Structure formats: structure tokens, C-alpha cells
Amino acid sequence: MPHVVLLPYMEIHTGISLQTYTTMRLGGKARFMAEAHSPEDMMELCERASGQQLPIFILGGGSNTIARDEGFNGLVIRNRIMGWQVIEDTPSYTAIKIGGGENWDETVRKTVELRLSGIEALSAIPGTVGAAPVQNIGAYGQEVSEAIEAVDAYHIPSQQFVTLSNDDCGFSYRHSIFRGSAAHQYAIVAVTIRLSKNPPEPPFYTAIENYFEEHHVSLYSPQIIRDAVVAIRADKLPDPQERPNTGSFFKNAIIDDWLYQDIMKEFPDMPAYDMPNNQHKVPTGWLIEQVGLKGKLLHGMRIHDKNALVLINESATSYADLAAARQEIIQAVRDMFRIGIEQEPLEI
């Protein structure tokens, strides 16, 4: 692999294919790529890139990132900052600071082994701890924002380390300032989560309730919830190492009440969940099913036959193929329901 030495303990590689580092296996090359193994590494890399006016992209596991065909004409920093520190332990909760480069599912596993509750439904989500706050990952009734106490990050414009509170992060459904108003301004080096020592209590998310009923489960613990989620996800979601994908490709749709009421007249069986501000969340997978695209192959992208939110790269060779498939799906849903659905993965 071609490279140039940046510092005695750090290397910057050049001309690296982003297909290798993103689970959709598409896209061009990164002009430069390096790994940060400590907050100091992150600071040094960001400062040197900024000093040369190079754009910066922080990459975790690549499971929620789509690379474009033209590649990235800047520095991609792969977050490999490890660490696990219990910073507060009380009779009711435990607070843990975790390095941004730690594997997310391994983190969930460790907290479950400690009998801590709060992120067990987020099991089997690929990626890193540092990436989790960016899109406020969520699944089966939990969102990571509910557990996050603070985010430690390097603020690239001011060249300073900062600690952001939960409120500072501007969390909402699959969103935060890290992919919104402050996109590309922060490099997350650690996340502090606060987890409960109390056992989880029903009611649970519908899919989990159904799993428990089917398997005659009536005693609940973080481990039992994790086991259920892992089994459910294994059945519904293809392994990105075997079939290239980014998990849920589209966000679920959030629509205003007037549109919800109007659509329900024609589609009274449309599933929906009440949201704040008189809005409703509609499963986008259901919308895609209704337009007849579930299981279809579009431009080399297969809409998963078990979960229509998932696009699998079967034979696409370019980001252009993915973009064409994405547009067909978006247009079909808009034509039938007047709902604009949005891509979930970030783009580099």
C-alpha cells in the first residue's frame, strides 16, 4: 500500500479505495487516509489537514457511509480510539466513558454482561461507538440518545477539545448536529453513556413482544432482550460482509397529521406511530412494499425481500447505479403516497 510518513508513529496512505472501507462496496478513492489511535492522533491529523486546507471525513466502520464515484479529495481519518472507563457507579445506574473507535456491538455485549439496561435493543448494529451519536442510532424502541450523557470531541474549526452535553448534540429521529448544522466540524473521540441497573420492563417494541410470545419468554433481562434482537435482526438483515449493504437505507417517514389522515382514507391498514408535534412515523419499508418494489432488482441494487428498507449491492459497479435505484424508489413512493422518503447513510 503506498504511503507517506506523517510522524514517526503515524502514517498517511494515499490513493486508497473507499470500496474496501465501506460496506456497500462502491465508490472511488480517498486522496489520503490515516488512523487515529488516540485523541492526540486525531488532533494532529485534523490540524495538519486543516493547515493544508484539505477536507476531513471521520470514518468509523463504514456501515453507514456511501462513497461516491469521484472519491474524496481530502483526508479520511479512521477512528480507532479505544477505551472503556466506568466514571460513576451508583445503586441505580452506571456511567461509562467509551472510546469512539470501539466496536458498537461489542460495547452493547459488555454492558449487557454487566446487567445494565438502556442500549440492549441496539444490539447487532454494525459500526463504532463514535458513529452512534452522529445519526442517533435506534432500533426496537430504543435510541442511543436516551443513554448518552456526554460526547467528547475535537472541534476542528476552533482546534479545541470540547465536551458536549446531551442537549448540545441536538438529537432527534436519526439526526444530530453532527450530521446537521455542525456536520464535519467535530471528530468524536469518546462517548459517555448512562445505563440503568433496573431490569427492563414491558411493554416492549412489537417485534420483541411477538418474539417473546412465540418463544414463551416471560422473564426479562438485558441479555434476554439482546438475544431476541440478535435473532430478529439475523432473520431480517443480511450480513454486510456477505451481501454488501448499509442496513436500513431509508429513514422511516415522519409525516404531518393532515397527510396521515388523508392517506388513511385510502390505506386504512397503514401502520403508523404517533410522534410529537402532531406528527406520525410511517414505516418506509411498508411504503416500498405497497409500490411493489420489495425483492426487485434495480440497477444492480436488490431491495431485500425480507426488509424493504435494505438495499443490497448485487451487481452495481458505481455510485451512479445506486443513485438511479434510489431515485426510482423515492419517486415511486412519492407518486403513490405524496411522501418524500430520505436516505439514512451519510455520503463521502
Give the residue numbers annotated as catalytic, written as ranges. Answer: 174, 248, 344
Give CA 166 to chain center in angstroms.
17
Helix runs in the chain, H state only: 39-51, 104-113, 206-214, 222-236, 257-266, 284-290, 319-337
Burial (0-12, 13-18, 19+ Cβ within 10 Å), 201:
exposed
What is residue 110's DSSP assignment?
H
Sequential DSSP letters for 282-309: E-HHHHHHHTT-TT-EETTEEEPSS-TT
Q: Read off the C-alpha cell for 91.
A: 445503586
CA dist., res. 173 & res. 51, Å (int): 35
Q: Which of 97, 161, 88 is nearest to 130 (CA)?
A: 97
259, β-bridge pairs: none
Residue 36 DSSP SS3: strand
Residue 7: left (phi > 0), alpha (psi -120 to 50), or beta?
beta
What are the residues whose beta carbons fall under 8 Å from the beta carbon of 55, sequence distance 6 or more?
Answer: 49, 72, 73, 74, 75, 184
For residue 130, which amino acid is it? G
Burial 122-149 (b: 16+ CB within 10 A, else e): bbbbbbbbbbbbbbbbbbbbbbbbbbbb
Burial (0-12, 13-18, 19+ Cβ within 10 Å), 324:
middle
Residue 264, phi then psi, degrees to nearest 5? -65, -25
Distances (CA, A) of 71 to 6, 24, 76, 323: 22, 14, 11, 15
